[in-house]
Amino acid sequence: MRDLFRGELVRFTLEEPETRARSEIRWQRDSEFVRLADSDPVMMNSEKKIREWIEKQAENGFKPERYFFNVRTLAEDRLIGFLSLWINLIHREAWVGLGIGEHDFWSKGYGSDMMRLCQQYVFTELGMERLSLGLHEYNPRALRSYEKCGFRLEGRTRRDLMREGRRYDSLWMGILRQEWLQMQSGEAK
């Protein structure tokens, strides 16, 4: 059987609250990172607050609708980011959000490796029919990475983001179980 948590460049982990909070407090100070990842206004939380929030998540246990992974590089064993899944059990659709907080690891294939692991997990472990995501128009790096992973652009909601006085679209992408399976058999040949 395939290793669900190990790709070519990264592996999925779940770190202790202190470790996570230490990284996240650094990442959230990086407004470029936050503005690429989110459409809400950038805000700052204390390390204590972030830790409490993570601990509360852990106390509530694991919900079948929610999955969270930290991401470490295989080569340096460095904590570089996270990947988050929201699952709709009724319609068997998963939504993914991911981020690489460490700038040094951008544009080097780490994101695509994370996404391939995520697709494998969503379709072979969670049994989903569809994997969805949204991104901002001003994030072409992410768009290229997702296209490379087989996602199709399904449309754009026009000008729903406002940044520095200008309006931008949101892009919506999806990949179906069948499409992913076909991709896999293509790669195997």
> Which DSSP helix (H) or strand (E) runs through 48?
helix 47-59
- Three-state SS for 135? strand
Q: Does 130 bind other proteins (CB under 8 A)?
A: yes
Tokens found for residue 32 = 């470029």
Task: Out of 26, 44, 158, 182, point to the residue binding other proteins (CB under 8 A).
Answer: 158
Among 91, 166, 186, 187, which residue sits at the site for other proteins (rule: CB under 8 A)? 91
Q: Which residue has the tokens 């072409």?
A: 140
* Placement of tokens 């006085």 in the chain: 165
Q: Site map for other proteins, 38-67, x if CB under 8 A?
A: -xxx--------------------------
168 DSSP β-pair partners: 161
Question: Does 147 help bind other proteins (rule: CB under 8 A)?
Answer: no
Of 5, 109, 156, 184, which lies in the binding site for other proteins, with binding defined by CB under 8 A?
156
Q: Which of residues 93-112 bind other proteins (CB under 8 A)?
A: 93
Q: Which is nearer to other proteins, 2 or 166 (CB)?
A: 166
In which element (H, E) is residue 58 found?
A: helix 47-59
Q: How far is the CB of 106 from other proteins (least distance, A)?
A: 25
Q: Which amino acid is at 76?
A: E
Q: Which one among 4, 44, 74, 162 touches other proteins, defined by CB under 8 A?
A: 162
| Orientation of helix 110-120 relative to helix 140-148, angle to 10° | 50
